[in-house]
Amino acid sequence: MQIETRAISLQAPQDVKLRAWLTLPPGIYRGMEERIRSGSIGGPSWTVKYKITLTGEQLASMGATVQPNQSSEEIYVTEFVRLGLLKLT
């Protein structure tokens, strides 16, 4: 298995409910694209995943409960990219 990563920006044109307690407001967010290559009998296949990293300050401003020692949280948002709710910029 081989993993390639690259920095990306994702745009939320409108509110995106990531979790029951966390709604991402419209804006542009820094993220990472992970391309995972795995081999199989038919040849290599690639899986692409997207994630964003939100700071503790961002999480708190969105209404999330942040732990005192929490500086950030990585959130996989692949399904929201596939649904077109978040767009690569």
pLDDT at 61: 86
**Which residues make Cβ contacts (< 8 Å) with residue 85, sequence separation at least 6?**
12, 14, 16
pLDDT at 52: 95
Query: pTM of the predicted model, to two decimals?
Result: 0.83
Say what the pLDDT of residue 56 is.
Answer: 84
For residue 32, the model assigns a pLDDT of 96
Contact 17, 23 (CB under 8 A): yes
Residue whose C-alpha is closest to residue 89's, from 6, 3, 12: 12
| pLDDT lower than 50: segments of the chain | none
